[in-house]
Every structure is written in structure tokens, then in C-alpha cells.
């Protein structure tokens, strides 16, 4: 499957604001997001593993105040940025749905899969 351009690499600062983008999850409209953590770009479906609602408390704000975890703004579940594993909260032990990304030549690109696909304009 073809990759989809998400953003320029320099749009993602270490531990900073993420970039949201539209996706289709199954047959539902949804969003995905990318963040930079530990020098790497990580991306997930923007959906809490506890209840399928968006995680960010303001657009692009995914990390909690320490910058060490992705946090669900509604339930307080905390996820490890590298793996999407829920380290605490109502869905402990679950995971966010990881997106396949590539960072090269100053670009962050996403590879849709069978469940999370690109929005067709």
C-alpha cells in the first residue's frame, strides 16, 4: 500500500505537541496522531483502549505534564509512547493501535493497513 504524507519531520519536537490527521477506522471516521518521543516518531489511532474516544485534551496535546506518557484526557489512562501499552488506568494491560510510520528525507509518512485506512477525498 502507498504511504501517506503526514508532516515534515521538524513539525514534531521531542516531547512536544503531536500532529493529528484524518483516518478511517473500520467504517468509522477517526483521527490518527504522531508524536516524537525518545528521538523516534510514534503514531497511533487516536482512540482510548478503554472507551473509543479521542485521547488529546486539546488538539495535538497527547502527553501528560511530565512528558513521559500519552494520557487519555477523559479517563486518565496512561500509555507508553514507544509501545502504546497502557501502564495505568481503567484499561491497564491494553494497547493503543500502533500505526506503521516511516521517517525519511525530512518527512513523516504513514502506511495504512486493513483496519486504519486513508480518508479518500
CATH code where residue 34 lies: 2.102.10.10
Say how many domains are in the chain. Answer: 1
pLDDT tens for each residue of the chain, 121 residues long: 699 999 999 999 999 999 999 999 999 999 999 999 999 999 999 999 988 899 999 999 999 999 999 999 998 999 999 999 999 999 899 999 999 999 999 999 999 999 999 987 6
Q: Which domain holds residue 17?
A: 4-118
Q: What's this model's pTM, rounded to 2 decimal places?
A: 0.95
CB 41 within 8 A of CB 103: yes
Q: Exposed, middle or buried: residue 67 (CB in 10 Å: 0-12, 13-18, 19+)?
A: exposed
pLDDT in the model for residue 52? 86
Return all residues near 96 (Cβ < 8 A) that are at least 6 apart.
44, 45, 47, 48, 49, 55, 70, 79, 84, 86
pLDDT in the model for residue 121? 64
Amino acid at each position: 500500500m502507498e504511504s501517506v504524507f503526514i508532516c515534515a519531520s521538524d513539525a514534531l519536537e521531542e516531547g512536544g505537541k503531536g500532529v493529528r490527521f484524518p483516518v478511517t477506522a473500520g467504517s468509522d471516521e477517526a483521527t490518527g496522531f504522531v508524536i516524537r518521543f525518545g528521538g523516534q516518531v510514534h503514531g497511533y489511532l487516536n482512540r482510548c483502549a478503554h472507551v473509543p474516544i479521542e485521547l488529546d485534551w486539546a488538539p495535538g496535546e497527547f502527553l501528560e505534564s511530565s512528558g513521559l506518557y500519552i494520557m487519555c484526557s477523559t479517563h486518565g489512562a496512561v500509555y507508553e509512547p514507544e509501545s502504546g501499552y497502557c501502564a495505568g488506568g481503567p484499561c491497564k494491560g491494553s494497547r493503543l493501535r500502533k500505526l506503521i510510520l516511516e521517517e525519511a528525507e525530512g518527512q513523516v509518512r504513514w502506511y495504512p493497513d486493513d483496519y486504519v485506512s486513508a480518508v479518500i477525498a
